[in-house]
Amino acid sequence: MIPVSGFDDLNVAVLGMGRSGLAAARALRAGGAVPLAWDDGAEGRVRAEAEGIALRDLTRPGAFDDIACLVVSPGIPHLYPAPNPVIRAALEAGVPVDNDIGLFFRSLATDGFADHDTPPRVIAVTGSNGKSTTSALIHHCLQAAGVPAQLAGNIGRGVLDIDPPGDGAVVVLELSSYQTDLARALTPDIAVFTNLSPDHLDRHGGMGGYFAAKRRLFAEGGPDRAVIGVDEAEGLFLAGQMAEAPGDPRVIRVSVARKLAGPGWNVHARKGFLAETRKGKQIGSIDLRGIPGLPGTHNHQNACAAYAALRALNLAPRAIEAGLRSFAGLAHRSQTVATRAGVTFVNDSKATNVDSAAQALRAFPRIRWIAGGLGKEGGIAALAPDLGAVVKAYLIGHSARDFALQLGVIPHEICETLDAAVAAAAAEAEPGDTVLLAPAAASFDQFPDFEKRGEAFIAAVAALDAR
């Protein structure tokens, strides 16, 4: 646990008693604060009481009269589409609002850090797509190279639940826009921006607000190194803002769309080959083709971003390559779950928007595509250029019929349920086909989250052998 500093004997309100809220309350208490918990749901309040955390109804008048700070769980809106009433009450009372990420950064550098020969460092990864795989890949490569590392944030453990890092250790954080948007402290040693595509726009008031939330990771604390994907206009702009000169080595530009040139520090991948250049000279390369845990261009982008972050830590290219080759992939992200009679079954349940689904659709030659769920604005119309490898689509969930109308001449079948879609796709698949779950939709119509949807896919594939 990372005890939260700076609130000795002060009352700190915590709104939302999910994973991050409970961890924040525990860490506040460990650091000498008095956490006062509230959750709009009765179950959350029961969880708090079970851990001996006092409750306070933050909806009542005067609830913030003696509160030093309000700590908010990431899923609770603080500005758009409308502030949660409790957050608004705190702001009207002049009470600062923070989240567990802000508490982590303000509390990590304690007096004990002076005793380390090599102070612990933090790599923070954000972006629209690939940030989970990139974070997990960095963590895996560090461990494979013998570097003590912990993975936390939006993946793995809650950020305040991790152990205090020791000498030479690295903390790898995956951070969503919900987390970066509100944190009052953001001071990673290395910050990574993978890419940007429309997502969570209602929460951020549009694309500009969404980019601004991501940009805070770089603008607030000024990381020692910034690894930035420059294949979108926003990333190119961000790299330009962070660099003081054309060859500024503090910025490492990453691309899978083109070969990067110039005097700066660049990492790019073309046709499956990763190359690192500095001052116009190539100083490292890796053949990414055939690495089973990193299929497709989107995973090559993840590999480039991870490679750049690890090089910023002075990890040798050969050590990074060994880590990339031993990476098994991340659950629910282009995860190969079975090969049956020459047919490969791939679980990409995390592909909850059209951009992430497009990356998966580009990665395989003959696809029987399982899609659908709770569709987002625009449906799958934007995927039209990426459907060339789709032999047939098997549609599920709330948006199945809407998606069917947007498929045009692509053969499709409305299956309603995931089990039915897996059975139908498996029955029609031929050797060399890939049965791909890449829903391009949220899961909440039939499953509590994308993980449960992915687990259901894996179970349905396993059940095929019992038939």
Task: Report how far Cα 294 is from the mean position of its chain's Cα atoms.
Answer: 16
3-state secondary structure (DSSP) of residue 252: strand
Q: Considering 76, 98, 120, which residue would you say is the last residue of a domain?
A: 98
| pLDDT value of residue 199 | 76
Identify whether 354 is part of a domain.
Answer: yes
Identify whether 2 is part of a domain.
Answer: no
Residue 286 CB partners (closer than 8 Å, separation 6+) = 273, 274, 303, 307, 317, 320, 321, 324
Place of tokens 């059940």: 463
- Going by their DSSP bridges, the two strands 335-340 and 343-347 should be labelled as antiparallel
Same domain assignment for residues 287 and 390: no
Identify whether 37 is part of a domain.
Answer: yes
| pLDDT value of residue 465 | 76
Same domain assignment for residues 371 and 432: yes
361/358 Cα distance (integer angstroms): 5
Cα diameter, the chain: 68
Same domain assignment for residues 321 and 340: no
Nearest C-alpha neighbor of 372 from the set 436, 423, 430 = 436
Identify whether 214 is part of a domain.
Answer: yes
Q: Residue 330: what residue type?
A: L
16/6 Cα distance (integer angstroms): 21
Same domain assignment for residues 31 and 133: no
**What pairs with residue 298 in β-bridges?**
none
CATH code of the domain containing 253? 3.40.1190.10
| pLDDT value of residue 231 | 96
235 is in an annotated binding site: no
Q: Is the peptide bond before 74 cis (omega within 30 degrees of 0)?
A: no
Report the C-alpha dihedral over residues 357, 363, 367, 370, rounded to 10 degrees.
Answer: -20
Q: Considering 32, 65, 98, which residue would you say is the last residue of a domain?
A: 98
**Alpha carbon distance, N-terminus to C-terminus of the chain:** 47
In the numeric block, which tokens belong to residue 355?
Answer: 């951009």
Q: HSE on the CB side for 18, CA within 13 Å?
A: 13
Nearest C-alpha neighbor of 24 from the set 102, 92, 80, 111 = 102
Considering Cα of 270, then 275, then 276, then 282, what sign does the dihedral take?
negative
Same domain assignment for residues 342 and 407: yes
Same domain assignment for residues 170 and 300: yes
Which structural domain range is residue 47 located in? 11-98
Identify whether 358 is part of a domain.
Answer: yes
Encode burial over 104-132: b for 16+ CB neighbours within 10 A, e otherwise: bbbbbeeeeeeeeeeebbbbbbbbbbbbb
128 is in an annotated binding site: yes
346/457 Cα distance (integer angstroms): 9
In the numeric block, which tokens belong to residue 204?
Answer: 């951020």
130 is in an annotated binding site: yes
pLDDT by 10s per residue, the chain, length 467: 899 999 999 999 999 998 889 999 999 999 999 999 999 999 999 999 999 999 999 999 999 999 999 999 988 999 999 999 999 999 999 999 999 999 999 998 765 666 778 889 999 999 988 899 999 999 999 999 999 999 999 887 889 999 999 889 999 999 999 999 999 999 999 999 999 987 778 889 999 999 999 999 999 888 999 999 999 999 999 999 999 999 999 999 999 999 998 899 999 999 999 999 999 999 999 999 989 888 888 899 999 999 999 999 999 999 999 999 999 887 888 888 999 999 999 999 989 989 889 989 998 999 999 999 999 889 999 999 999 999 999 999 999 999 999 998 999 999 999 999 999 999 999 999 999 999 999 999 999 999 999 999 999 999 997 65
Long-range contacts of 281-290 (CB under 8 A, 24+ apart): 283/317, 284/311, 284/317, 285/317, 286/317, 286/320, 286/321, 286/324, 288/324
Same domain assignment for residues 278 and 318: yes
Identify whether 5 is part of a domain.
Answer: no
Radius of gyration of the chain (CA): 23
- Helix H, strand E, coil C: the string for 382-404 is HHHHHCCCEEEEEEECCCHHHHH
234/241 Cα distance (integer angstroms): 10
What is the helix, strand, coil percentage profile of the chain, to 5? 35, 25, 40
| pLDDT value of residue 113 | 61
279 is in an annotated binding site: no
118 is in an annotated binding site: no
Domain count, the chain: 3
